[in-house]
Amino acid sequence: MRIETSFTPIPEIATELLAVLAVDTQAANGRNAKPQPTLLVSDPAVLAAAAGVLATGEYKGGANETILLHAPAGVAARRLLIVGLGKQAKATVHSVREAAGTAIRFAKPRGIRKIALALPDNFSQSLPHAAVARAAVEGAFVGDFDPDTYRSERRDQSIEALAIAAPAEAGHNIIESAVAEGAIIGESQNFARALINEPGNKLTPTILGQHAAMMAQKLGLGWEVHSTEMLRELKMGAFWSVAQGSAEPPALIVLRYEPEGVQDGPILGLVGKGITFDTGGISIKPSDNMEKMKYDMAGGAAMIGVMRAIALLKPRVRVIAIVCAAENMPSGTAQKPGDVQTAMPLAPEKPGKTIEVINTDAEGRLVLADGLTYARRLGATHLIDAATLTGAISVALGKIIAGAFANDDDAYARFEAALSVSGEKFWRMPLGEEYADLIKSDIADIKNTGGRYGGAITAAEFLHTFAEDTPWIHLDIAGLAWVEETRPFIAKGPSGVAVRSILEWVRSFSSGAQA
Ligand code: BES
Ligand code: MN
Ligand code: ZN
């Protein structure tokens, strides 16, 4: 999708479809009051073209509600699409993100290839122009993605060109750079989604490593992709215990971003779970829905997507990403319940922590244990991990909000601030001694499951054992990494959740950025 910015008066934009936004301005507590759809553009020609349909009451301006007008009078565009943001009082920058996606997904199946989206010109206190422009472009890219890569006759027909139409009085440079930023972020989220979408046979750990390396090479990031030998050398016994059952070798993917002239300050360690297929191993999963376990590398893909955006946006902070990629398989060489593994030590001369593997299906925490330790060894001062770690997080929070855990309030405060920019929903979950007690083992230092209750929290405490006192955030995205049903603004399939939030968290550390 090609993106351009336009400051042309919107009635003069010749395009296949012009999308404008509307809010419902009905008085907040008017219980039986009728919805009052109000366009967020003040151009008289557009208002006149829409007046008739808005007067009928058939369109309410609800969130992502659309209505299409053909050959609108007085407007050069062939079609006028009105997209709702919902109640005015609740409309946010994120509502615009979704509405832009809705406009794109409205156009795609109708053979429309060129569209323009008018930014609000009369609602700017709560919807600042630059933030809205950026979010609209992000939402447009997210909406443009469809997962039918392997259909012989692909139904997915991407939008060719999107023009972001900004009011003439908006600062041109500010809007143009916001649009460019939005494109980088939206494309990086889609880069992650494309990886997540790949089936296990097409995306082995080795191939995931190749994709990461190609991206890094192209964009000037440092990179290394290691395999079995390096795991042995580093004594990554926890990571290897998952990989050992598969014919596919593991990949330890390391991506480095070292901006010129930044020699001190924090080093951020981004650690992603990259299980390219999770059968459960010897503790094998039931076959119902097992095909979904190709997305068990969504956390790792998110980190690769974040690094892509970082390479292009160039924040002034050093970042290392580590993706622990393996296939979790049952076989004659697979680890068994009861096996004891020794995790990577923090220093070569120190002993590694020992882990009793109760359930081979709790493999994500095993690979992340060594990933977190390795990030600390490479000098990470702050850690963030993302993983489709537990079914239990969906029991706790549904498939509406993702889980977040942190051992450090300052690091988490930055993450919360990042959420207000990304529009993503995470809820901070507790950690605590009493949960940590549930993963004590009779034979080893810890065990890899903590019983039936509080499963997302005991999983987080397992990771905490390896993050120790390094400021650390853990994101359990198991419930949100896959969109179960198509929505107006996003296709069903991989969501790319966490990319935007982690990126914003990283940018908050950029020297010169507001803390
Ligand atoms: N990859 C799964 C978690 C998962 C479940 C992700 C559903 C996405 C959707 C993880 O490796 C796993 O199997 N976790 C187990 C842990 C249990 C054995 C302690 C789980 O959640 O059941
Ligand atoms: Mn598992
Ligand atoms: Zn898993």
pLDDT band at 153 (very low <50, low <70, confident <90, very high): confident
For residue 130, the Cα-to-chain-centroid distance in whole angstroms is 21
Residues near 381 by Cβ (< 8 Å), separated by ≥ 6?
A: 266, 267, 268, 269, 470, 471
**What's the pLDDT at 157?**
84
Q: pLDDT class for 154, splitting at 50, 70, 90?
A: confident
Do 270 and 306 touch, CB atoms closer than 8 A? yes
Condensed to tens digits (0 to 9), the pLDDT of residues 52-106 reads 999 999 999 999 999 999 999 999 999 999 999 999 999 999 999 999 999 999 9
Residue 33 has a pLDDT of 76
Q: What's the DSSP call for residue 402?
A: E
133 contacts 182 by C-beta, under 8 angstroms = yes
Q: Which two tokens stand for residue 255?
A: 């991506």
Q: What is the DSSP letter of 150?
A: T
Residue the block writes with tokens 């191939």: 207
3-class SS of residue 418:
helix
Burial class (CB in 10 A: 0-12, 13-18, 19+), 388: buried
* pLDDT tens digits, 281-340: 999 999 999 999 999 999 999 999 999 999 999 999 999 999 999 999 999 999 999 999
Per-residue pLDDT, 125: 67
Residue length of the chain: 515
Q: Where are the domains of the chain?
A: 2-168, 190-507
Contact 506, 390 (CB under 8 A): no
- Confidence grade of residue 170 (pLDDT, cut at 50, 70, 90): confident
486, pLDDT greater than 70: yes
For 249, other C-beta atoms within 10 Å of its C-beta total 18
Mean pLDDT of 152-161: 84
Task: Answer positive or negative: Cα dihedral of 261, 267, 268, 272.
Answer: positive
Residue spans of beta strands (DSSP E) within 350-409: 354-356, 382-387, 402-406
CB contact at 8 A, 400 and 460: no
Query: Rounded to an integer, what distance in angstroms lies between the CA atom of residue 413 and that of residue 515?
Result: 10
Q: Tell me how far the alpha carbon of residue 196 lies from the centroid of ligand 1, in angstroms.
A: 16
Q: For the segment 93-106, what is each residue's pLDDT rounded down to a tens digit?
A: 999 999 999 999 99
User: What does the DSSP assignment read for 78-138?
Assistant: SEEEEEEEEEGGG--HHHHHHHHHHHHHHHGGGT--EEEEEPPSS-TTTS-HHHHHHHHHH
Write out the two tokens for 454: 């509080």
Active site residue 285: yes
Token pair 């002239």 is at which residue? 261
Q: Which of 353, 365, 414, 447 is catalytic?
A: 365
Quick one: which atom of ligand 1 is closest to the CA of 391? 21
Of the pLDDT bands very low, low, confident and very high (cuts 50, 70, 90), residue 32 is low
| pLDDT, mean of residues 426-448 | 98
Q: Give yes or no for a contact between 243 and 327, defined as CB atoms under 8 angstroms apart.
A: yes
How far apart CA 356 and CA 338 sit, in angstroms, is 6
Least reliable range by pLDDT among 127-136, 147-156, 227-236, 473-482: 147-156
478 Cβ inside 6 Å of ligand 1 = yes
pLDDT tops 50 at residue 462: yes
State whether the beta carbon of 364 lies less than 6 angstroms from ligand 1: yes
Q: Under a CB-based contact definition with an 8 Å cutoff, are residues 323 and 300 in contact?
A: yes
Residue 154 appears among annotated catalytic residues: no
Percent of the chain having pLDDT more than 70?
97
Q: Is the pLDDT of residue 418 over 80?
A: yes
Residue 514's pLDDT is 52
In the numeric block, the tokens 């039936």 are attached to: 452
Same topology for domains 2-168 and 190-507, yes or no? Answer: no
For ligand 1, atom 9: residue with the closest CA: 478
Residue 29: predicted pLDDT: 62
157, burial (CB in 10 Å: exposed 0-12, middle 13-18, buried 19+): middle
What is the torsional sign of CA 503, 509, 511, 515? positive
**Mean pLDDT for the stretch of residues 209-213:** 99
Work out the average pLDDT over 7-25.
Answer: 97
CA distance 287 to 295: 15
Fold of 2-168: Leucine Aminopeptidase, subunit E; domain 1 (3.40.220)
- 362 CB less than 6 Å from ligand 1? yes
**Cβ atoms of 83 and 24 closer than 8 Å:** no
406 touches 470 (CB < 8 A): no
**CA atoms of 392 and 382, how far apart (whole Å):** 26
Would you say the pTM of this structure is higher than 0.85? yes
Q: Of the candidates 276, 273, 254, which has an alpha carbon nearest to the alpha carbon of residue 206? A: 276
Section 343-352 average pLDDT:
97
Site to probe by mutation for ligand 1, drawn from 239, 363, 390, 484 as the one with most ligand atoms within 8 Å of Cβ, is 390
Please, what is the average pLDDT of the chain?
96
**What mean pLDDT is predicted for residues 219-231?**
98
Q: In 368-485, which ranges are E strands?
A: 382-387, 402-406, 426-428, 446-447, 472-476, 482-483
Span between the terminal Cα atoms of the chain, in Å? 34
Tokens 């549904």 correspond to 398
Three-class HEC string of 474-515: EEECCCCCEECCCECCECCEECCCCHHHHHHHHHCCCCCCCC
Task: Determine the distance separating the centroid of ligand 3 and the alpha carbon of 278, expressed in angstroms.
Answer: 5
Give the confidence band of 123 by pLDDT, cuts at 50, 70, 90: low
At 30, is the pLDDT very low, low, confident or very high (cuts 50, 70, 90)? low
Residue 448 CA to ligand 2 centre (angstroms): 11
| DSSP of 196-209 | HHS-TTT--HHHHH
Strand partners, 252: 226, 324
Q: What is the mean pLDDT of residues 348-359?
A: 97
Give the atom of ligand 1 at the shortest distance from the alpha carbon of 450. Answer: 19
For Cα atoms 262, 265, 266, give the angle at the middle one, nearest 5 degrees: 110
Has residue 515 got a pLDDT over 50? no
CATH class of 190-507: alpha beta
Query: Which residues are 19's β-sheet partners?
Result: 81, 117
Contact at 8 Å (CB) between 37 and 84? yes
Is 391 touching ligand 1 by the criterion CB < 6 Å? yes
- Asked if residue 488 has pLDDT above 80, the reply is yes
